[in-house]
Amino acid sequence: MKWIYDLSYEMLKTEFAGANLKKFTTDQVFQWLYFKNIQDVNLWSNISKTDRQFLESNYNTSLIGVVRATGDEHGTRKFLLELHDKLRIEAVLIPEKHHFTFCISTQAGCPLACRFCATGLLGFKRNLTAGEIISQILVLKNEIRYYTGKLNIVLMGMGEPLLNYENLEQALKIMTSAKAMNISPRNITISTSGILEPLKRFEKTFPRVKISFSLNASDDLMRETLMPISKKEKLADILDYFRDTKLDRIHRITFEYVLLKGVNDSTQDARKVAALLRGIPCKINVIPYNRNESLPFKTPSEQEVNAFADYLHEKGYTVIVRWSKGKEIRSACGQLAGEE
Ligand code: SAH
Ligand code: SF4
């Protein structure tokens, strides 16, 4: 039986046409799955009983399972989810002042092994399918059924989105399609450590989706040490690309900078970052390092974090310090490891 969330609109349409279902069945099914978020085929009341029986016997409509949900006092909840092959991934539900943010994963583990990241430490298991990416959103939406307001989707959980390009693209089409989830691309962000060719392709296909780039270092050598991918994907090439294409972009690029005590947090580092980003319309998110016992790094003090942020601010940059939510439940940036 096919897992329905892995099928695009076009694939489903072709299959339904082959099975002689009515022309608008695909639209109806998409509405039930992605807009109304109702998994039980028996409740799909505008579809005939015979067609529902056909759907039930040919497609699996159940979502990925929640193994456990952990919450902290701010209302952030981390969901440990189990895929069909028993691999586990994590998704995080974050209540904000005026909306909810869903932080979702694109890979089980991550092959890029950044030195400061718990997901990287885990190694790479496999890419998530489009259905596995999408169904994280449906699982989280089920948790806040009463809520119909704005959703913010950040692809910042486990994995590097641009290394799972085809499935990312299929999932984003379902997120943004008016026939499916109808989420505005403005409310979607992908976070990447910077893989230039798929990044270019992505921005052409989804020009309104926001891009966060994980900078995390003030020069090449430091970045190559902290983020091994940087040996292949040169920082200068990525920054040149951002600079050269700035007029085509609706949103400013967000640069994420994980602040590691004594490693990349000095005034000299701040000065180098200010110089690196000159000419790129951007925002800078300074993220004080979230601790992990297996890793050798330390979190700078609040004073050190503020000094770094203030320097960049004085140089004219928009800087936001992100003291992470959900640290207590290990759901903050870089702490997702599908753990038991
Ligand atoms: N692979 C993508 C998205 C997932 S990581 C990327 O690297 O952008 C999401 C963010 O968490 C990245 O900005 C990354 O730099 C940050 N991060 C990783 N480990 C962290 C840690 N221990 N503390 C704080 N942020 C961390
Ligand atoms: Fe992968 Fe991002 Fe973690 Fe680096 S920071 S290991 S790219 S998930």
Query: For 113-170, what is each residue's pLDDT tens digit?
Result: 999 999 999 899 999 999 999 999 999 999 998 898 999 999 999 999 999 999 999 9
Using a 6 Å cutoff on CB, does residue 287 contact ligand 1?
A: yes
Using a 6 Å cutoff on CB, does residue 168 contact ligand 1?
A: no
User: Could you list the active site residues?
Assistant: 90, 333
CATH architecture of the domain with residue range 65-329: Alpha-Beta Barrel (3.20)
**Number of C-beta neighbours around residue 123 at 10 A:** 11
Picking from 104, 177, 90, the residue whose alpha carbon sits closest to that of residue 137 is 104
Which residues are within 8 A (CB) of 166 and not within 5 positions of it... i.e. 6 or more apart? 130
CA 31 – ligand 2 centroid, Å: 34
Atom of ligand 1 nearest to the CA of 159: 1
- pLDDT above 70 covers a percentage of the chain that reads 96
Mutate to test the pocket of ligand 2, among 119, 125, 158, 255 (most ligand atoms within 8 A of CB): 119
Mutate to test the pocket of ligand 2, among 92, 117, 191, 192 (most ligand atoms within 8 A of CB): 117
Question: Can you state the angle between helices 165-176 and 196-205, rounded to 10 degrees?
Answer: 20
Average pLDDT over residues 222-243: 98
The band of 324, judged by pLDDT with boundaries at 50, 70 and 90, is confident
The answer to whether residue 20 scores a pLDDT higher than 90 is yes
| Contact (Cβ atoms closer than 8 angstroms) between residue 210 and residue 250 | no
pLDDT at 228: 98
Mutate to test the pocket of ligand 1, among 117, 189, 255, 263 (most ligand atoms within 8 A of CB): 117
pLDDT at 328: 65
Mutate to test the pocket of ligand 1, among 89, 136, 156, 265 (most ligand atoms within 8 A of CB): 156
Average pLDDT of the residues of the chain: 95
pLDDT at 72: 84
Q: Which ligand is nearest to the CA of 105?
A: 1
Nearest CA to ligand 2 atom 4: 114
The answer to whether residue 239 scores a pLDDT higher than 70 is yes
Query: For 208-225, what is each residue's pLDDT tens digit?
Result: 999 999 999 999 999 999
Q: Which residues line ligand 2 (CB under 6 A)?
A: 110, 112-114, 117, 119-120, 159-160, 193, 214, 334
Picking from 16, 143, 145, 146, the residue whose alpha carbon sits closest to that of residue 91 is 143
Atom of ligand 1 nearest to the CA of 297: 22
Taking the C-alpha atoms of residue 141 and residue 331, their distance in angstroms, rounded to an integer, is 18
CA 247 – ligand 1 centroid, Å: 27
Query: For 303-313, what is each residue's pLDDT tens digit?
Result: 999 999 999 99
Taking the C-alpha atoms of residue 87 and residue 110, their distance in angstroms, rounded to an integer, is 13
Nearest CA to ligand 1 atom 3: 156
pLDDT at 6: 98
Fold of 2-60: DNA polymerase; domain 1 (1.10.150)
CA 86 – ligand 1 centroid, Å: 25
Main-chain phi, psi angles of 5, to 5 degrees: -70, -15
Q: What is the pTM of this model?
A: 0.96
Chain CA centroid to CA 226, Å: 21
pLDDT at 146: 85
The answer to whether residue 83 scores a pLDDT higher than 70 is yes
Atom of ligand 2 nearest to the CA of 113: 6
Taking the C-alpha atoms of residue 95 and residue 91, their distance in angstroms, rounded to an integer, is 13
The answer to whether residue 13 scores a pLDDT higher than 90 is yes
Using a 6 Å cutoff on CB, does residue 299 contact ligand 1?
A: no
Using a 6 Å cutoff on CB, does residue 167 contact ligand 1?
A: no
What are the domain boundaries of the chain?
A: 2-60, 65-329
Nearest CA to ligand 2 atom 8: 159
CA 286 – ligand 2 centroid, Å: 16
Q: Which ligand is nearest to the CA of 121?
A: 2
Query: For 41-77, what is each residue's pLDDT tens digit?
Result: 999 999 999 999 999 999 999 999 999 999 988 889 9
Q: Residue 71: in which H helix or E strand, if any?
A: strand 65-71
